[in-house]
Amino acid sequence: MGAGAAEHSISVGQYPFGVAPAPNSALVYVSNFLSNTISVIGTDPAGPGFHTVVHTIPTGLNPSGIAVNPDGRTLYVCNYGDATVSFIDIDPTSATYNSATATIVVGSSSKTVGVSPDGTTLIIGTGSQILLVDTQTGGATATITVGSSSKSVGVSPDGAFAVVLLDNGELVLVDIRPGIPQDERATATITVGSSSKSVGVSPDGGSVYITKSDGTVDVYAIVALGGSAAVAEPITSTYQFKFVTSIQVGENPEGLAFDKTTGLLLVVNAGDNTISFINASGRPAGPVTAIIDVDPNSINPTTKGKYISAYLQFPTFLDPFDVILSTVRFNAQNGSVAAETTLSAILDHNGDGILERQVKFNRTSVQSLIPIGFPVQVSVTGQVDGRTFTGYDSVKVLRPKIKNPHAAQIVPQLSDLNIQWSPIGNGVAYKMDIFYSRDGGETWLPVVQGTADDSSYVWNVPDIVSSRNCFLQLVAKNKKNEVTGVEIMADPFTVSDAPVGLDETLPVRFALLPAAPNPFTALGTKVRFDLPEPANVTLRIYGVDGGIVRTLANDAAYPAGRHALTWDGRNDQGLAIHGGVYFIKIEAGPKRAVQKVVRVTR
């Protein structure tokens, strides 16, 4: 969203006047002039009461200007009707939370208050003067004459200057540094009109925002000869205000303030009792897209190293130093892997003059997530400077692909089985470990370890108990004996103690056989069932709430025999399911059966 766009509004009390955000951006305080209250609004999207009034605090008569101490523990409220300033405790751990702990009399009606960035000084507009007050003692430390009563005051980020909006329609820049004589204080003045209501200084100190009764906010740049913003220049510097633009807001806007964390400008609209949230920074609001470069982008046994890197390049208004490493994830089809938080760096990886954040992920963990193929889309997500980011890249994934035995093949005991696969390393120096399971992947036993990656190995099948739930697993390793790829058969084969062809008897009864493996991971599980006669079969997966998660067969005609379907752990929309308990239900004609399975996440 571009600069100057009002994002949303919130209803508060009667005639809202002043606004001030808490330093942690979780709350916003609004003074209600006719209600004699402060409305407290939740602004943390992850917290309770987001964008609603969560507390109402009573004040003095006609609260107007307000400010929050940078330590987040005290709210200062100008009570115009009784010429006082209230100190309100806003520390949630305090026994006096959300109540006034002190009140000082300022001598004449005041509508405006500001606080220095270090939290030690209040800047209060009283009559034709600016009163500087110690926040600890409540005593005045200096008085500065500005020539007219003040409507509003803002303070530069370094605390060196106050920008004061006067009742006579002038905007004045005043040097408020301690020890500066009145006649030596650097100033600037511009006429902004009597319809001006309130003033605020941008977080960078370079701009001033003024609410106007016509429903707009005017923006002025602070220009210093020899400088670009209102910072602690020598007092001989000359400052000027330069009009930039006007922003449309709500009806009859009064107070305004900046949320320094999000960069949003908050404007209270007294005419319609709302608050406008404005992106005044010119930066897009919300999530951002990052440019991601995954290295290496070919994932196979020939690639080396323990880690896979991703280089994150952000829009220029974001700093790669602000990435929260604990939130960064590598995401693929079968899950996600957290970044190694101690192995990050800042560098210009692609030489384009823009710094990138390098993050690293465990290679073995990443490879377990990515299916074989090209291109395979992957993403990296996380948080940077208080907002989420997502970036995408494509990689090529190569792993050994088992070609023989095939699904449902019957292999006699003590026979020679020619295990075949698609090699990856062109048969040069890379090895394969081969394992078999006869219980659906619950346990694995070695076939051979360290055989060459030359596409085949002849296995003399041992004298084991017959099983229709046998699987092979191939583990590829590089020269350093590091695992670089794993492949498991998708469907089982049979090891039989009978000659081939004699084990093809039809089942004598209907049965939903145990799914295997169970519990299962992202690799999925095999659902097997026996039909003694042909039947129309409906086989579905249900969640614990009774809702349908996945339909594997819907009134499909099956012949008599032994059948198996693979559930890949995804729902009907193709999304990976969460870990937990699920139920397999089969209907085959009049027959019914239900079985529990458990999905586990790594």
Please determine, looking at this structure, whether the domain spanning 401-496 carries the CATH number 2.60.40.770: yes
Contacts of residue 252, defined as CB under 8 A and 6 or more positions apart, other chains included, come to 213, 215, 269, 270, 271, 272
Residue 343: half-sphere exposure toward Cβ, Cα within 13 Å: 13
pTM of the model: 0.44
Distance CA 171, CA 522 (A): 65
- The CATH 2.130.10.10 domain(s) of the chain lie at 5-279
Query: Apex CA 484: angle with CA 368 and CA 523, to 5°?
Result: 25
- Residue 523 Cα distances to 87, 140, 299, 539, 563, angstroms: 61, 72, 18, 20, 19
Distance CA 499, CA 204 (A): 84
- What phi and psi values does residue 103 have, to the nearest 5 degrees? -140, 130
Which option is the CATH number for 511-599: 2.60.40.4070, 3.40.640.10, 1.10.290.10, 3.40.50.2030?
2.60.40.4070
Mean pLDDT of 546-565: 87
Residue 210: half-sphere exposure toward Cβ, Cα within 13 Å: 32
State which fold the 288-397 domain adopts: Immunoglobulin-like (2.60.40)
The percent of residues in the chain predicted with pLDDT above 70, rounded, is: 87
Long-range contacts of 227-232 (CB under 8 A, 24+ apart): 229/204, 229/205, 230/156, 230/160, 230/161, 230/163, 230/173, 230/201, 230/205, 230/206, 231/156, 231/158, 231/160, 231/205, 232/158, 232/160, 232/177
Closest CA to 100 of 72, 69, 59, 139: 59
Structure confidence by residue, pLDDT tens digits, 7-61: 556 788 898 888 888 887 688 999 999 999 999 998 877 777 888 899 999 999 9
Distance CA 183, CA 444 (A): 88
Distance CA 173, CA 553 (A): 76
Structure confidence by residue, pLDDT tens digits, 108-138: 777 788 888 889 999 888 877 888 889 999 8
Query: Apex CA 130: angle with CA 127 and CA 135, to 5°?
Result: 120
Residue 332 amino acid letter: A
Distance CA 93, CA 72 (A): 12
Which option is the CATH number for 5-279: 3.40.630.10, 1.20.210.10, 2.130.10.10, 3.40.50.12160?
2.130.10.10
- The CATH 2.60.40.770 domain(s) of the chain lie at 401-496
Distance CA 437, CA 472 (A): 7
Residue-level pLDDT at 357: 95
Structure confidence by residue, pLDDT tens digits, 301-341: 444 567 889 999 998 778 899 999 999 999 876 688 999 99
